[in-house]
Amino acid sequence: MNDILWTPDPARVAAAAMTRFRHLAEAKSGRELADYDALWQWSIDDREGFWSLLWDFCDVISSTPHDAVLENGDAMPGARWFPGARLNLAENLLRRRDACEGIVCWRENGTRSVLSFAELYDSVSALRAWLQARGVGEGDRVAGFLPNLPETIAAMLATASLGAVWSSCSPDFGTRGVLDRFGQIEPKALICADGYFYGGKTFDSRPRVAEILVELSSVVAVVVVPYVEEAPDLSSLRDAASWGEATADVPAGDIAFTQVAFDHPLFIMYSSGTTGAPKCIVHGHGGTLLQHLKEHRLHCDLQAGDRLFYFSTCGWMMWNWQVSGLAIGATLMLYEGNPAHPSPSILWDFCEQERISVFGTSAKYISAIEKAGVKPAQTHDLSRMRLLMSTGSPLAHESYDYVYRDIKQNVQLSSISGGTDIVSCFALGNPVLPVRKGEIQSRGLGMAVDVFGDDGKALPAGEKGELVCTRAFPSMPVGFWNDPDGAKYHAAYFDTFDNIWRHGDWSVVTETSGMVIYGRSDAVLNPGGVRIGTAEIYRQ
Q: CA-CA distance, 366 to 455, in Å (whole number)? A: 37
Q: How far apart are the first and last CA of the chain?
A: 17
224 found inside a domain: yes
Q: Give rounded-to-5 percent helix, strand, coil for the chain.
A: 35, 25, 40
Q: CA-CA distance, 175 to 193, in Å (whole number)? A: 14
Overall domain count for the chain: 1
pLDDT digit string, tens, across residues 143-175: 999 999 999 999 999 999 999 999 999 999 999
Distance of CA 518 to the CA centre of its chain: 21
524 found inside a domain: no
206 found inside a domain: yes
Burial class (CB in 10 A: 0-12, 13-18, 19+), 120: buried
The identity of residue 410, as a single letter, is N
List, in sequence order, every residue forming a beta bridge with 113; answer none if it has no partner. 105
pLDDT digit string, tens, across residues 284-309: 999 999 999 999 999 999 999 999 99
* Domain hosting residue 253, numbered range: 115-261
Confidence check: pLDDT of 94 > 60: yes
* Residues 133 and 362 sit within 8 Å (Cβ to Cβ): no
**Residue 521, pLDDT score:** 81
- pLDDT bin (cut points 50, 70, 90) of residue 416 is very high
Mean pLDDT of the chain: 95
* pLDDT (mean) for 266-273: 88
* Residues 165 and 266 sit within 8 Å (Cβ to Cβ): yes
Q: CA-CA distance, 342 to 77, in Å (whole number)? A: 47
* pLDDT (mean) for 99-123: 98
Helix (H) or strand (E) holding 455: none
CA-based nearest residue to 5, from 515, 416, 438, 539: 438
192 found inside a domain: yes
Confidence check: pLDDT of 525 > 70: no
**Residue 276, pLDDT score:** 80
* Residues 496 and 465 sit within 8 Å (Cβ to Cβ): no
Confidence check: pLDDT of 1 > 60: no
Residue 442: which residues within 8 A CB-CB, separation 6 or more? 36, 40, 299, 427, 428, 429, 430, 433, 513, 514, 515
70 found inside a domain: no
- The DSSP 8-state label assigned to residue 396 in this structure reads P
Rg (CA), the chain: 22
The CATH code of the domain that includes 139 is: 3.40.50.980
Angle at 318 between CA 334 and CA 228, to 5 degrees: 40
Whether the model clears a pTM of 0.75, i.e. scores above it, the answer is yes
151 found inside a domain: yes
Helix (H) or strand (E) holding 111: none
* pLDDT (mean) for 446-460: 98
Count Cα atoms within 13 angstroms, Cβ side, for 401: 5
* Residues 390 and 364 sit within 8 Å (Cβ to Cβ): no
24 found inside a domain: no
Confidence check: pLDDT of 130 > 50: yes
Q: What 3-state DSSP class applies to 130? A: helix
50 found inside a domain: no
Helices (H), ranges, 241-396: 243-246, 285-294, 317-323, 346-353, 363-371, 376-379
* Residues 428 and 444 sit within 8 Å (Cβ to Cβ): yes
Q: CA-CA distance, 24 to 13, in Å (whole number)? A: 15
Query: Longest Cα pair distance anywhere in the chain, in angstroms?
Result: 70
Q: CA-CA distance, 145 to 325, in Å (whole number)? A: 22
**Residue 102, pLDDT score:** 99
pLDDT digit string, tens, across residues 36-86: 999 999 999 999 999 999 999 999 999 999 999 999 999 999 999 999 999
* Residues 385 and 352 sit within 8 Å (Cβ to Cβ): no
